[in-house]
């Protein structure tokens, strides 16, 4: 039967389960690895310590498709949460995990992204030292006569990742993947995989033909394009120091050559990058 929720301001079940992730206090660790796909959460959960006495890791798959797996990595509690894609889903993950975890939290996102310009290239792990948000501006399409003066896409100021976690991620990823396969730079989180990431096609009036060139010119340090990191860092900024966060992503699309990474190679890179994320999370100083 469906659980009943109370308090429309922050809905929970009588036992304290949240609305989208469905977890409650005691089920989520204060160190969280957020990944973009349920399959990646399953894959990386195999890196956690085997539970004692042949037991099982804690697993909860919510009705909305968010999977939380909680266990330990080298004796430190960790949760792996599948965040799926986009800023609203990242919002659910950060807010609903924050609501059920006590004390300070660290969140690392491991996702996938497009490689925008050198030094970024296909198959690399790209760590965001900071991120901006790129949004389609719907007002530019309005019928008002002033609409034609408005930019079709808007860029925010950058928000910084936690420098301590960024340093740990760079160290750990260099050791699991090789330093030449790891770079860091400015990330851009877009509100679409298509329009605001400069993908062009004939079905919609997206007005984004020069967008990739505009980004590269305006931000020579911008290397990765995806849909979540900015919001994670923005939430951390607004958490009063109670959430520390960083994001990194594997480049599976090359936005200059239009090449895509083979799936078999992605899975191996996910494990190497996932291991680096877990090692960085357990070394993160939360006091
Ligand atoms: N994820 C994105 O958002 N964009 C890409 O190009 C690849 C992965």
ipTM: 0.98
Q: pLDDT for 119-153, tens place per residue?
A: 999 999 999 999 999 999 999 999 999 998 999 99
Around ligand 1, the residues with Cβ closer than 6 Å are 112-114, 193, 197, 225-227, 252-253
Can you give the CATH number for the domain in which 265 is found?
3.40.50.1580
Number of domains in the chain: 1
Full residue range of the structural domain in which residue 46 is found: 31-283
Residue 162 lies in a domain: yes
Domain-located, residue 20: no
Q: What is the mean predicted confidence (pLDDT) over 60-88?
A: 98
What is the distance, to the nearest Å, from the Cα of residue 173 to the centroid of all Cα atoms in its chain? Answer: 17
Q: Is the residue at 10 inside a domain? A: no
Mutate to test the pocket of ligand 1, among 109, 124, 193 (most ligand atoms within 8 A of CB): 193
Confidence of residue 275 (pLDDT cuts 50, 70, 90): very high
Choose among 261, 256, 161, 158: nearest CA to 216. Answer: 256
Q: Is residue 22 part of a domain?
A: no
State pLDDT tens for residues 230-251: 999 999 999 999 999 999 999 9
Residue 137 lies in a domain: yes
User: Would you say residue 21 lies in a domain?
Assistant: no
Residues 15 and 13: their CA atoms lie apart, in Å, by 5
State the distance from the centre of ligand 1 to the C-alpha of 36, rounded, in angstroms: 11
């Amino acid at each position: 039967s469906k659980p009943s929720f109370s308090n429309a301001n922050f809905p929970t079940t009588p036992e304290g389960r949240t609305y989208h992730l469905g977890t409650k206090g005691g089920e989520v660790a204060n160190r969280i690895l957020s990944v973009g796909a349920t399959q990646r959460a399953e894959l990386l959960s195999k890196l956690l310590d085997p539970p004692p006495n042949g037991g099982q890791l804690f697993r909860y798959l919510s009705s909305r498709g968010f999977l939380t797996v909680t266990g330990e990595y080298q004796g430190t509690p960790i949760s792996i949460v599948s965040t799926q894609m986009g800023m609203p889903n990242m919002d659910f993950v950060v807010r609903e995990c924050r609501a059920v975890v006590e004390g300070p939290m660290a969140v690392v996102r491991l996702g996938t992204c497009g490689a925008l310009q050198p030094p970024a290239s296909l198959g690399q792990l790209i760590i965001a030292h900071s991120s901006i948000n790129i949004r389609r501006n719907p007002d530019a399409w309005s019928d008002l006569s002033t609409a034609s003066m408005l930019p079709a896409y808007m860029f925010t100021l950058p928000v910084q990742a936690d420098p301590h976690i960024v340093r740990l991620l760079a160290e750990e990823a260099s050791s699991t993947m090789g330093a030449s396969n790891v770079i860091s730079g400015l990330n851009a989180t877009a509100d679409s995989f298509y329009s605001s990431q400069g993908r062009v096609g004939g079905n919609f009036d997206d007005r984004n033909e020069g967008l990739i060139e505009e980004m590269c010119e305006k931000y020579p340090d911008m290397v990765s394009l995806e849909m979540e990191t900015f919001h994670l860092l923005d939430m951390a900024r607004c958490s009063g120091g109670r959430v520390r966060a960083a994001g990194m992503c594997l480049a599976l699309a090359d936005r200059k050559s239009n090449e895509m990474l083979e799936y078999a190679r992605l899975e191996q890179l996910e494990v190497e990058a996932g291991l680096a994320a877990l090692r960085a999370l357990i070394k993160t100083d939360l006091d």
